[in-house]
A and B are shown apart, each in its own frame.
Chain A
Amino acid sequence: MTALQFALGAAVWLIGQTAAWAFGGSGAKIWLPEGSSSVAPEIDRLFYIVLIITGVVFVLVQGTLIAFLILYRRRPGRKATYIHGSHLVEIIWTVIPAVILVFLTVTSQRVWAVIHGTPPTIDLELEVTAEQFAWNIRYPGPDGKLGSEDDLTTINQMHLPLGKVVMIRLISKDVIHSFFVPQFRVKRDAVPGITSRLWVQATRPGTSDIACAELCGLGHYRMRGFLTVETPEEFQAWLAKTAEEFE
Chain B
Amino acid sequence: MDTHGAPRGLLRRYVFSTDHKVIGIQFMFTSLVMLFFGGLLALLIRWQLGWPGRALPFMEKLAPDGMPGGIMLPEYFNMLFTMHGSVMIFMAIIPLLVGVFGNYLIPIKIGAGDMAFPRLNMLSYWTFLPGIAVVVAGFFVEGGAAASGWTAYAPLSTTLGAGQLCWIIGVIMIGSSSIMGAVNYVTTIINLRASGMGFFRLPLSIWALFITAIITLLATPVLASALILLLLDSTMGTSFFLPAGLVIDGVAQANSGGQVLLWQHLFWFYSHPAVYIMILPAMGIASEIIPVFARKPLFGYHSMVYAIIAIAALGFLVWAHHMFASGMNPALGTSFMVSTMIIALPSAIKTFNWLATLWRGTISFQTPMLHALAFVSMFIIGGLTGIFSAASPVDLYLHDTYFIVGHLHYVLFGGSLFGIFAGITFWYPKMFGRMLNERLGKAHFFLTFLFFNAVMFPMFILGVHGMPRRIYDYTQYGFLQDVGGLNRMMSVSALCLVGAQALFIANFFWSLWRGRRAGKNPWQATTLEWATASPPPHGNFDEPPTVYRGPYEYSVPGREEDWWPQDAKS
Q: Report A's interface with B, CB cutoff 8 A.
A: 1, 3-4, 6-7, 10-11, 14, 17-18, 21, 25-27, 29-33, 39, 42-43, 46-47, 50-51, 53-54, 57-58, 61-62, 64-65, 68-69, 72-75, 78-86, 89-90, 93-94, 97-98, 101-102, 104-105, 107-109, 111-113, 115-116, 131-132, 170, 173-176, 178, 180, 182-183, 185-189, 191-194, 196, 208-209, 211-222, 224
Contacts and interface: CB of A to CB of B under 8 A. Distances in A.
B294 A72 contact: yes
B63 interface: no
Contact of B246 (A11, A65, A116, A173): A173
16 contacts: A30-B482, A46-B393, A47-B394, A73-B364, A75-B362, A79-B562, A84-B297, A85-B302, A104-B387, A183-B479, A189-B325, A194-B243, A214-B153, A217-B159, A218-B74, A220-B78
Contacts of B478: 208-209
Given A80-B362, A215-B156, A221 B392 contact: no
B178 to A, nearest CB: 26
B62 interface: no
B363 A73 contact: yes
Given A3-B444, A108-B337, A116-B330, 9 more contacts: A54-B385, A85-B302, A85-B353, A90-B353, A93-B349, A94-B345, A132-B249, A188-B325, A219-B74
A216 B243 contact: no
B359 A72 contact: yes
Given A33-B479, A112-B337, A220-B470, A215 B78 contact: yes
- Chain B CB count within 10 A is highest, among A11, A29, A101, for A101
Contacts of A82: 296-297, 554-557
Nearest to B396: A187
A123 to B, nearest CB: 22
Contacts of B468: 180, 211-213
B345 A80 contact: no
- Chain B CB count within 10 A is highest, among A131, A173, A192, A222, for A192
A7 B362 CA distance: 27
Q: In which size bucket is the chain B interface?
A: 35 or more
- Chain A CB count within 10 A is highest, among B295, B396, B464, for B396
Given A72-B361, A72-B362, A189-B326, A217 B338 contact: no
Contacts of B75: 218
A215 to B, nearest CB: 5
B156 A3 contact: no
Given A7-B443, A54-B385, A215-B78, A61 B392 contact: no
Contact of B359 (A50, A68, A189, A213): A68
Nearest to A53: B387
Q: What is the interface of chain B mostly: helix, strand, loop, or mixed?
A: helix
Interface in B427-486: 439-440, 442-444, 446-447, 450-451, 454, 461-462, 464-466, 468, 470-474, 476-479, 482-486
B246 A174 contact: yes
B15 interface: no
A57 B296 CA distance: 25
A116 B393 CA distance: 10
Interface of B: 73-75, 78, 147-149, 153, 155-156, 159, 243-249, 258-261, 294-303, 325-327, 330, 333-334, 337-338, 341-342, 344-345, 348-349, 351-353, 355-356, 358-365, 373, 376-377, 380-381, 384-385, 387-388, 390-394, 396-397, 399-401, 439-440, 442-444, 446-447, 450-451, 454, 461-462, 464-466, 468, 470-474, 476-479, 482-486, 489, 493, 496, 503, 552, 554-557, 562
A113 B468 CA distance: 25
Nearest to A75: B362
Contacts of A33: 465-466, 479
A247 B347 CA distance: 62
Contacts of B447: 3, 6-7, 10
Given A68-B358, A83-B297, A174-B248, A220 B472 contact: yes
A105 B339 CA distance: 10
Given A21-B485, A75-B362, A178 B325 contact: yes
Contacts of A108: 337, 390-394
Contacts of A209: 477-479
Nearest to A186: B396
B156 A216 contact: yes
B303 A85 contact: yes
B387 A54 contact: yes
A40 to B, nearest CB: 9
Contacts of B388: 47, 50-51, 54
Contacts of A224: 476-477
Contacts of B363: 68-69, 72-74
A132 B250 CA distance: 10
Contacts of A58: 380-381, 384
- Chain A CB count within 10 A is highest, among B149, B243, B356, B391, for B391
A173 B252 CA distance: 10
Given A30-B482, A54-B384, A182 B470 contact: no
B299 A85 contact: yes
Nearest to B298: A84
Contacts of B298: 84
The 9 nearest A-B residue pairs measured at CB: A193-B243, A3-B443, A182-B466, A116-B330, A26-B482, A196-B327, A221-B472, A85-B300, A111-B393
B396 A68 contact: no
B262 to A, nearest CB: 10
